[in-house]
Structure 1
Amino acid sequence: MTFTLQQALIPVDQGYTTVDVRVVGDTITAISPSLEVVGTVVNCENKLLLPGFFNAHTHSPEMWQRGVIPPLPLELWLAELYDFAPLEVEKVYLSALGTAVETLLSGGTSVVDHLVLIPGQEIETIAATIQAYQAVGIRAFVAPLIWDQSLISGIPSGENQAENSIPGRSAQEILQMLEEAINKFHKPEAGVYILTAPTGIQLCSDELFVGCGELSDRYNLCRHSHLLETKAQQLLAQEKYGCSAVEHLNRIGYLSSRTSLAHCVHLTDDDIKILAETQSTVVHNPLSNLRLGSGIAPILKYRQAGVNVSFGCDGASSNDSQDLLEAIKIGSILHNVTDLDYQHWITPRQAVEMASLGGAKGLNLGEQLGSLTVGKKADLVLYDLTNLSLLPRTDPIGLLMLGRPTQVVDSVWVDGKRVVENGRVSTINVDDLKQELFAKSEWVTNRKSKTVSEFEAHYRSVMGLS
């Protein structure tokens, strides 16, 4: 496919300029104020062209529980989540479709799915998710979420003994499953990438982390994990290792330029130095951190230390949305209350760079994606500047990042293929998807989680709550 985007507005150092952009196949081949038309012409007058953003951390199957889990901290929220997790592959497929559509329509061209697996159907879960993402046409980074310790192990105070391992799910068995998935599904040329992704120090043994690191090295894969999302996890790390979780992961070799870490709320200055030295990426998930009371990640400190930062929505029942523009806005302005020096605050243009190039760097693809650059892949988003929520005319990127843009995405290309046109996903029938999601769900109120009831007294005791 060859096409020419005509009269697109793009940001430059001194403001904005209007250019034509030529795409041949999957690659941007020319950017200039006036190009000879080659291939299909796309009229971009009064439209802003930006590189596609990365939804750099989410859990697509959580969509089935959006809006229903009550206000709980992460450790108890997880207990309820897993009590009611979907156990049907068809539901996993539908929620991945929904996640892809919502990401595309809020400016994202790539999604990192820290995928919750159906026990005993792990390969089928991964296959269904990939099938959904390929049907929609989004660039998919599938990170099978794995752990080898029981859920109670995630709460501090003497609960992390060997007997808490999950029956029938040894680290070696999990790693064998993961290697099978890598061999079957990792196909970057088709826009599908497998990541090694232990859930975090709270539920994973060193054996699992080290094994994931070895698979990552053997197959040249990126690595992903949650890290120090809550105060409880900070306490747990001291209990398990006698040092911070960052120090420990560095000692066992898990941190690297191919490692992205979700949340990173409770880190010390020494931890931040380690992340900078290892060139690890932090994925900022501000909405779930607020929803679960986890805290505010010190993103301004990370940026000042030279740590790469990107944005994620997190799962659709800890954020209850997959609106990437909303996550970027909150993730930018939230930190105006954590640092009085306004010269450190995140500008709209910096937010765009974090969401695009920051996401690409976190997945070791900074040379291929994340900016409007000749030679890079054509993952592009066109925004309609005549939309009411982007008017009256002021600064286009300021309006997009600081406003409340609704239905502003006009077109999206992933790998040079147009997957959104005139504000509508063109690869699948979204009306059919909505009907399926409605038909396979029901209104839910006042449900009770058995596991929350079992964990709550212990959690409150450990956290010093009366």
Structure 2
Amino acid sequence: MSILIRNATILAMDNLHGSTPFTGDVLIEGDSIRQLGTGLTAPEGATLIDGTGKLVMPGLINSHLHSGEALFKGRYDNMPLELWMLYSYPVLGTSSIDDRIIYLRSMLVAIEALKTGTTCITDDLFESPAQTLSQLNAAVQAYDDIGIRATVSGHMIDRPYMDTIPFSREFLPAECQTRLEQMTPPSAEDFIDFAKAAYREFHDRSGRIRFMVAPSAPQRCSDTLLQAADELARQWQVPLHTHIVETKVQGCTGPAHYGKTLIEHMHDLGVLHSGVTIAHSVWVTDRDIALMGDAGVSVVHNVISNQKLGAGIAPVRKLLDAGVNLALGTDGICSNDSARMFDVMKAAGLLHNVSTPDYSRWLNASEVIRAATLGGARSALIDNITGSLEVGKRADLLILDLQSINFLPLNDIRNHLVYCENGGSIEKVIVNGEIVVDSGRLTRVDEKALLAELRELMPAFLAYHGKVEQENAALAEGIAAIHRHCNGMDLGIQRLGTDSAWV
């Protein structure tokens, strides 16, 4: 199958053009871009698309999301991360979720993502009380069916809950501590065996699905698990995807547990290198940033989620200056409440303007677009195949209508994309050379039928989850006390905005 797009405005994000638009043609053959230029000849039988008045750009890449939260979208508000996790990632009273719910839940995320311009996602999947290969397969199958590119994980935690949160023994109720201490997480060996089986089963499915290794966070994983996971990631050349210092509570965790920051702990373990992607990095120190830059890690900036959960402002300019690769993500679908990457781009372009009066250090639109495309591909270790429009790369791209209200009047296209566009101008979404969204319609699946099926299942699911929420509410007062303590609220310390989180 061939597609020729003629006379379009092209935003290639490649080494030659960067974020400077130019006029030209794009020839797609099979799953890849065959030619970029002007006056290109269409092969026999090719689909011809008139690009006049259209913008062709790389598909957006959501570099950090948790599809498991999709059924809680719009459910929670005004909770810091640790409190919010009691209900979105409950530890008490859970049971395995049916595979069909997981399939539909994943499809819900993929539908919104594709229709708003995201061609590639990194989904860090967690299931409570434990994930099965069958559950992971349900998510993978949804992504395969709809036609999106995805890197998926089996989320790893092998440390007991009490050991993952500082001051838990000081603040959590004694009866809850007893119950939590009776719960035994899977071992490091169990997780490594699971990862090996998942890699064999899912990696490189349909040329679009990849598996990654995702130890949850250094405070939630033993050193044994972190190092074993890193060994697999290096062997398979896939990301080691983790979370570090999203909140002030987590910022207190490293010194409390290890006598050093969590980044320093990762460095000392030898698990800090260019194959590592770190979500958040809000509460990193200057030494942390230097270590991260020297290692060449990627950081996913989850700007909307960090605001909703009150986590703080990541020191993005410092990270970029140090040589860290920047990507963007929505984070969880109920700590952001959507999978829309254009929302994330706008928030990333605006938030840092209030973190410092030095406007030379604010993010510009080109930097934001790069983080949402090539930077995201780099974080998933697939920048050799996607993230920019280049000959030989996979044809993952968007066609937008420059005649839409979002581009009127047409000034700087990059500014329009970051500050004006919301996905409403998208006419076509192409992944792996295939048109998967055409004029707002998904071409591979019956969206209406899938969503109707999910609606029918939701009452029973929410009734189950409501009982789980009630059970985990027993921990809320203690977790709230830990949050107040780590943020200095019990000492009367004021919260002030700075260019790196809070003081």
TM-score in same-fold range (> 0.5): yes
Shift of 1:388: 2.5
Asked whether the equivalents of residues 327 and 372 of structure 2 are also in contact (C-alpha less than 8 Å), the reply is: yes
Q: SS at the partner of 1:322?
A: coil
Asked whether the equivalents of residues 282 and 315 of structure 2 are also in contact (C-alpha less than 8 Å), the reply is: yes
Shift of 1:120: 5.0
Is the aligned partner of 1:139 residue 2:149?
A: yes
Q: Which residue of 1 aligns with 2:25?
A: 20
Asked whether the equivalents of residues 153 and 159 of structure 1 are also in contact (C-alpha less than 8 Å), the reply is: no
Is the aligned partner of 1:218 residue 2:235?
A: yes
Q: SS at the partner of 2:89?
A: helix
Is the aligned partner of 1:53 residue 2:60?
A: yes
Q: Which residue of 1 aligns with 2:102?
A: 92
Q: SS at the partner of 2:125?
A: strand
Code of the residue aligned with 2:23 in structure 1: it is T
CA distance in 2, matches of 1:121, 1:282: 26
Shift of 1:86: 7.2
Consecutive unaligned residues of structure 2, counting only runs of 5 or more, are 12-16, 171-176, 491-503
Q: Which residue of 2 aligns with 1:351?
A: 368
CA distance in 1, matches of 2:466, 2:408: 42
Q: Which residue of 1 aligns with 2:353?
A: 336
Code of the residue aligned with 2:472 in structure 1: it is T
Q: Pick from 34, 37, 50 the counterpart of residue 43 of structure 1.
A: 50
Q: Pick from 390, 395, 414 the counterpart of residue 378 of structure 1.
A: 395
Q: Which residue of 1 aligns with 2:70?
A: 63
Q: SS at the partner of 2:231?
A: helix
Code of the residue aligned with 1:103 in structure 2: it is A
Code of the residue aligned with 1:220 in structure 2: it is Q
Q: Which residue of 2 aligns with 1:300?
A: 317
Is the aligned partner of 1:454 residue 2:475?
A: yes
Give structure 1 regions of 4+ aligned residues with deviation exceeding 6 angstroms: 443-447
Q: Which residue of 2 aligns with 1:246?
A: 263
Correspondences of 1:193-208 after superposition (within 5 Å): 193-208=210-225
Asked whether the equivalents of residues 149 and 204 of structure 1 are also in contact (C-alpha less than 8 Å), the reply is: yes
CA distance in 1, matches of 2:451, 2:168: 46
Is the aligned partner of 1:362 residue 2:379?
A: yes
Asked whether the equivalents of residues 257 and 364 of structure 1 are also in contact (C-alpha less than 8 Å), the reply is: no
Q: Pick from 151, 175, 180 the counterpart of residue 161 of structure 2.
A: 151
Asked whether the equivalents of residues 97 and 133 of structure 1 are also in contact (C-alpha less than 8 Å), the reply is: yes
Shift of 1:314: 0.7
Q: Which residue of 2 aligns with 1:423?
A: 440
Q: SS at the partner of 1:116?
A: coil
CA distance in 2, matches of 1:432, 1:398: 37
The structure-2 alpha-carbon separation of the partners of 1:406 and 1:363, relative to structure 1 and needing over 3 Å to count, comes to: closer
Q: Which residue of 2 aligns with 1:315?
A: 332
CA RMSD, Structure 1 to Structure 2 (Å)? 2.3
Code of the residue aligned with 1:105 in structure 2: it is K
- Bigger CA drift: 313-322 or 145-154? 145-154
Is the aligned partner of 1:122 residue 2:132?
A: yes
Code of the residue aligned with 1:223 in structure 2: it is L
Alignment deviations for residues 295-350 of structure 1 (CA, whole Å, 9 cap, x no partner): 11111111122211000011111111111110111012111111222222222222
- Bigger CA drift: 77-86 or 62-71? 77-86
Q: SS at the partner of 1:441?
A: helix
Shift of 1:423: 2.3
Is the aligned partner of 1:7 residue 2:7?
A: yes
Q: Which residue of 1 aligns with 2:424?
A: 407
CA distance in 2, matches of 1:129, 1:418: 21
Asked whether the equivalents of residues 316 and 322 of structure 1 are also in contact (C-alpha less than 8 Å), the reply is: yes
The structure-2 alpha-carbon separation of the partners of 1:435 and 1:196, relative to structure 1 and needing over 3 Å to count, comes to: same
The structure-2 alpha-carbon separation of the partners of 1:21 and 1:127, relative to structure 1 and needing over 3 Å to count, comes to: same
CA distance in 1, matches of 2:418, 2:358: 21
Q: SS at the partner of 1:266?
A: coil
Q: SS at the partner of 1:115?
A: coil
CA distance in 1, matches of 2:49, 2:479: 60
Alignment deviations for residues 336-394 of structure 1 (CA, whole Å, 9 cap, x no partner): 11122222222222211111110111122222211111222111111122222332322
- Give the TM-score normalised by structure 1: 0.94
Asked whether the equivalents of residues 114 and 143 of structure 1 are also in contact (C-alpha less than 8 Å), the reply is: yes
Q: SS at the partner of 1:99?
A: helix
The structure-2 alpha-carbon separation of the partners of 1:446 and 1:98, relative to structure 1 and needing over 3 Å to count, comes to: closer
Code of the residue aligned with 2:63 in structure 1: it is A
Q: SS at the partner of 1:250?
A: helix
Q: Which residue of 1 aligns with 2:498?
A: none
CA distance in 2, matches of 1:318, 1:127: 24
The structure-2 alpha-carbon separation of the partners of 1:208 and 1:452, relative to structure 1 and needing over 3 Å to count, comes to: farther
- Bigger CA drift: 214-223 or 440-449? 440-449
- Give the TM-score normalised by structure 2: 0.87
Shift of 1:99: 1.1
CA distance in 1, matches of 2:362, 2:479: 39
CA distance in 2, matches of 1:286, 1:152: 28
Q: Which residue of 2 aligns with 1:110?
A: 120
Q: SS at the partner of 1:102?
A: helix
Alignment deviations for residues 124-174 of structure 1 (CA, whole Å, 9 cap, x no partner): 11100110000010111002111012333332126599x958525111112
CA distance in 1, matches of 2:192, 2:363: 40
Q: SS at the partner of 2:257?
A: helix
Alignment deviations for residues 90-112 of structure 1 (CA, whole Å, 9 cap, x no partner): 11111111111211122211100
Q: Pick from 262, 271, 286 the counterpart of residue 269 of structure 1.
A: 286
CA distance in 2, matches of 1:150, 1:13: 47
Q: Which has the higher contact order (CA 8 A, sep 6+)?
A: 2
Shift of 1:15: 4.9
The structure-2 alpha-carbon separation of the partners of 1:43 and 1:86, relative to structure 1 and needing over 3 Å to count, comes to: farther
